[in-house]
Amino acid sequence: MIKDRIASSCRRSGRSVSEVTLVGVTKTIPYSIVGQAIEAGLTVLGENRVQEAADKIAHLRQVTAQHDVEWHLIGQLQSNKARRAVELFDAIHSLDSLKLAERLDGIAAESGKRLPVFLEVNLGAETSKAGVTETEALHLCEKICRLPNLVLKGLMTVPPFLDDPQEIRPFFKKLRELRDQAIRAGIVDSTFKELSMGMSNDFETAIEEGSTCVRVGTAIFGSRS
């Protein structure tokens, strides 16, 4: 079971299981299976697309009403879908520009909401992936922390996909170092402590390097068709 593997990773790294949140990635997973996962105890659900999430949230309203469920956006967010994202999600992991942050802040203000967000950092400098560069990250953290209706929880990354999780370890270590650097510099507040990193093939390594949110889909639901 995934929770057993998380617990083992925590023991190896001298951490408490309570420090790690399992985000079940439900992209393309049928409503019925997501509902079963919620009934089985999955309480944080990660979606990549706003419209797919909207459909799932509507279909699963009766199930989620009986459980304390959170919906997190983990895929890239287009500015024209920002308003709907603020309405739907309890947290956004994929904030990737100051412009988007300012738009989310304005919408959250209108909604009377303080929205938890993560700044996505593209540590592999992959053109196919979103996220700010390592050199931009600290400056943007400082700017985002000044927006009154966003709560900057920490950093997120999607490292290059490599077969050996040990080859991915340096990317996880770098994100942790960036977070710690921001804290030492005093440019973030006390809410800034999270690291959203690690997926089905590498979440155990990510936990060993300090991940507080692992985004796991295939290892829970099986391969997507």
Q: 132-167: per-residue pLDDT in tens?
A: 999 999 999 999 999 999 999 999 999 988 888 899
In the predicted model, is pLDDT for residue 224 greater than 90?
no
Query: What is the C-alpha separation between 186 and 36, in angstroms, rounded?
Result: 43
Domains of the chain, residue spans: 2-220
Q: What per-residue string of b and e applies to 94-109 under the rule 16 or more CB within 10 Å gives b? A: bbbbbebbebbbebbb
Query: What is the C-alpha separation between 97 and 107, in angstroms, rounded?
Result: 16
What is the pLDDT at residue 223?
84
* Residue 176 token pair: 């942790």
Which residues, other chains included, contact 148 with Cβ-Cβ below 8 Å and sequence gap of 6+?
A: 105, 109
pLDDT band at 127 (very low <50, low <70, confident <90, very high): confident
CATH number of 2-220: 3.20.20.10
Q: What rounded mean pLDDT belongs to the chain?
A: 95
User: Model confidence over 75-102: pLDDT tens digits?
Assistant: 999 999 999 999 999 999 999 999 999 9
Query: What is the C-alpha separation between 44 and 190, in angstroms, rounded?
Result: 22
Mean pLDDT of all residues in 176-196:
97
* Contact between residue 104 and residue 143 where contact means Cβ atoms under 8 Å apart: no
What is the pLDDT at residue 104?
98
Which residues, other chains included, contact 133 with Cβ-Cβ below 8 Å and sequence gap of 6+?
A: 121, 122, 125
pLDDT band at 225 (very low <50, low <70, confident <90, very high): low
User: Model confidence over 14-50: pLDDT tens digits?
Assistant: 999 999 999 999 999 999 999 999 999 999 999 999 9
